């Protein structure tokens, strides 16, 4: 599967909670601060801003997150992948595609 652009995605309240849990678990601010990113999703990760109501994730964003996540230790990586896998099963539509891409590109 190629991680592709997803336009105008909106996460459910459960999706937002899961995203926040992932951010907390891996303390993304610490790991990703040096990376300059422009997308709304990654501004939420890097600058501790709330995830936008509606956002677009581009293929370039997926590449950047893939590279950043490679710096995590294996235990943290597995914990985050389990959270993402849970959300893949519990969602549908664009949100499911988002979580599938997170899992694939992660």
Dump pLDDT digits (tens) for 42-100.
555 544 556 667 777 777 677 777 776 776 777 778 888 899 999 999 999 999 998 99
**Per-residue pLDDT band at 27 (split at 50, 70, 90):** low
Euclidean distance between the first and the last CA atom of the chain, given in angstroms as a whole number = 12
What residues contact 41, with CB distance under 8 A and at least 6 apart?
Answer: 51, 52, 55, 57, 61
pTM, entire model = 0.70
Q: What pLDDT was estimated at residue 39?
A: 53
User: How many CA atoms does the CB half-sphere of 98 hold within 13 Å?
Assistant: 23
d(CA 10, CA 65): 19
pLDDT confidence tier of residue 11, bands split at 50, 70 and 90: confident
């Amino acid at each position: 599967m190629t991680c592709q652009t997803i336009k105008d995605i909106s996460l459910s309240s459960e999706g937002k909670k899961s995203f926040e849990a992932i951010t907390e678990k891996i303390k993304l601010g610490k790991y990703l601060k040096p990376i300059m990113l422009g997308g709304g999703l990654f501004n939420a990760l890097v600058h501790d801003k709330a995830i936008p109501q509606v956002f677009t994730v581009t293929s370039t964003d997926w590449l950047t997150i893939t590279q950043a996540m490679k710096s995590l230790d294996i235990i943290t990586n597995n914990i985050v992948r389990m959270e993402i896998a849970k959300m893949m099963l519990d969602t549908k539509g664009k949100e499911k595609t988002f979580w599938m891409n997170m899992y694939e590109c992660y």
